[in-house]
Homo-oligomer: A and B are copies of this chain.
């Protein structure tokens, strides 16, 4: 029952999933390239995430160390589920079909997925 994480908040989460704990400044440094947000913006997002209890804080002197409280896998599974439910009536096949038709699937992708499916059955 993870609360909804907005797009901007998700960017922050990706950073923390890659490395944690981090201070606000460190997080800001890591998103600076991609997003160019100010330190204040990053702090706002961090505090909103903390309010939603998807990240935790640990005091370190005058500052905080932030860490994810929710696993990336757990989060992605939930979001994927909702996405497939809402747009494809819960069926994955149409999603794969759409991506395929839109030329989003390379031959390599197809081989990879086939491999995965073989393992799933095995």
Q: Which residues of B contact A92 (CB under 8 A)?
A: 96, 99, 104-105, 109, 113
Known A113-B96, A113-B113; judge A105-B76 contact (CB<8 A).
Answer: no
Quickly give the copy total for this chain: 2
Known A113-B117, A114-B117; judge A77-B96 contact (CB<8 A).
Answer: no
Measured as residues with beta carbon below 8 angstroms from the partner, the interface class of chain A is 35 or more
| Pair B99/A116 contact, Cβ less than 8 Å | no
Closest to A78 in B: B102
Q: Which residues of B contact A76 (CB under 8 A)?
A: 87-88, 98
The CA-CA distance from A116 to B73 in the complex, in Å, is 26
| Pair A84/B113 contact, Cβ less than 8 Å | no
Interface code A100-116, partner B: CB below 8 Å = 1, 0 otherwise? 11101101011011101
